[in-house]
Amino acid sequence: MPLIAWIIAYALNMLFWLWIVRWGGAERLEGTFSSGLLISVFAPRWSAEGIKVFGYGAIIVSTIGFVLGVFFPDFRYLL
């Protein structure tokens, strides 16, 4: 994957998770079927705070993966 595509994919992923944790996405998805499709199969049982915690974890993991992909291009093809 070219570097520009890697950056765009990360930016879109980050926008999604920021919507979840900062802009009311967790409250909107709390208890819905779509949270099970977008986040995790267990998400419909979670509270909004649980969804936010999962979102913060996803931000940390995806940021680590992004940095690794920037400095080690072969890593981009593993994900």
- Confirm if 36 and 44 have CB atoms less than 8 A apart: yes
pLDDT of residue 79: 64
At 12-62, the pLDDT tens digits run: 999 999 999 999 899 998 888 888 888 888 888 889 999 999 999 999 999
pLDDT of residue 58: 96
User: Per the structure block, which two tokens stand in for 23?
Assistant: 């802009």
Quick one: DSSP state of residue 34? H
pLDDT of residue 37: 84
Predicted TM-score of the model (pTM): 0.86
End-to-end CA distance of the chain: 10
